[in-house]
Amino acid sequence: MPWRITDPMSERLEFVRAALHRQGSFRELCGRFGVSEKTGYKWLNRYALEGPAALADRSHAPITPAHQVPPAQVAAICALRRRHPTWGARKLRVRLAVKAPGVRWPAPSTITTLLKHAGLVVSRHRRARERQGWAHAALTQPTSANDVWAADFKGEFRLRHGAYCYPLTVSDLYSRYVLGCRALPSTASGLAQAHFLRLFEHYGLPQVIRTDNGGPFSAACALGGLSTLSVWWIRLGIRPERIAKGVPQQNGEHERMHRTLKAEATRHPAATPEAQQRLFDRWQRVFNHERPHEALGQTPPSAHFTPSPRPYPRRVPALAYPADAELRRVWSNGCVRWRGEPLFLSTALAGQYVALTRTTETEWAIRFCSLQLGVYHAAAMAFEEKLAWLHTPDQ
């Protein structure tokens, strides 16, 4: 007996017939034929409108390829994009249709292709790679106390009375000294900043603070992942440093401390946040001053830690920018005004001043403190995220 030969159209027709004859529930039929319910409904609707012929594969080519768009339309699309550099293809098409309703404007996908060819769109993948390169740069190796602090939220747990506790821990990676372990009710940025303020006032400022990519240390969708907390650190002359996503072993010393903390201070939680904080304080004293540490030659961390020679300043240091730079204050909506147009950077920078320095006839480098944010291309009226530390902050 010969093998049964099938093709996609035959399978779709068999699926439609099975669905029309109710040979099982719709979900079961989709599972049997290996398609999603959304796809199943698509083939049913096509069959109902056009019959079996509608089940054939259709071309995915654009109705109007980019190279066939009239030059006058290309010029109008690019001109509108230059006036509104933050508008996407759909918004541009709607506006163009309002201004010239009798013109058959190309599809949004074709408009995007035209904008890319004209250099008016910066690839998202390129921005992601550059952000990843900054976040995943070579990690700083501490050679003395306060070179690198590590910070993280140990996993939340419930107290005996039911409230959640989010321990925020900070340690010095050179001496393994636990600087703080605070029982917080959430991971809110304001609570974390208050905790760091206490540590800075007591121990001084580190050179680097290493964290993961979660909040409040980083904002996933923001320029450079900048959060209000990391912007504050940069203003103080501290360089935020992030480990790679999904690689917690890059903060291995801190994670190892968390294992000890969990075993000795969280497995039998207290009833209230205040009582839990007392448990953390007792654990921290023992860990720092009594517990021998194998990586430190069986000596306690306190034997290797000294406060930072950089005290917490009474006022945030003034920004130091090149004399030829043009300064712009970031509005509350995250934009600056440049050449008469709003340029969006990040709401995390609201109230801060950024500097724009000409690098070529048509390009301007934009920086915040010692962090280069990117490059503004005047010809395309587009901002390209390009993150790099210009030098180690030391304010």
**Do 280 and 190 fall within a single domain?**
yes
Please tell me the pTM assigned to this model: 0.68
First-residue to last-residue Cα distance in the chain: 83
**Do 196 and 295 fall within a single domain?**
yes
pLDDT given at position 60: 58
**Do 245 and 207 fall within a single domain?**
yes
With b for 16 or more beta-carbon neighbours within 10 A and e for fewer, the 288-324 pattern comes to: beebebeeeeeebbbebbeebebebeeeeeeeebeee
**Do 90 and 185 fall within a single domain?**
no
- Number of structural domains found in the chain: 4
pLDDT by residue for the chain (395 residues), tens only, comes to 444 445 677 888 888 888 887 777 888 878 877 888 888 888 788 888 888 877 777 665 555 555 578 888 888 998 888 888 778 888 899 889 998 988 889 989 899 888 888 888 765 555 554 455 455 568 899 999 999 999 999 888 999 988 999 999 999 999 999 999 999 999 999 999 999 999 999 999 999 999 998 889 988 778 888 999 999 999 999 999 998 887 888 888 999 999 999 989 998 999 999 999 999 999 999 999 999 988 899 999 999 999 999 999 988 888 889 999 999 999 999 999 988 888 889 999 999 999 999 999 889 999 999 999 999 988 777 888 888 888 644 44
**Do 270 and 328 fall within a single domain?**
no
Q: What's the CATH number where 293 sits?
A: 3.30.420.10
**Do 253 and 176 fall within a single domain?**
yes
Domain that holds residue 276: 148-303
Looking at the domain assignment, is residue 168 inside a domain? yes
Distances (CA, A) of 278 to 140, 158, 167, 282, 284: 33, 16, 13, 6, 10
**Do 153 and 290 fall within a single domain?**
yes
**Do 158 and 271 fall within a single domain?**
yes
pLDDT given at position 315: 87
Looking at the domain assignment, is residue 2 inside a domain? no
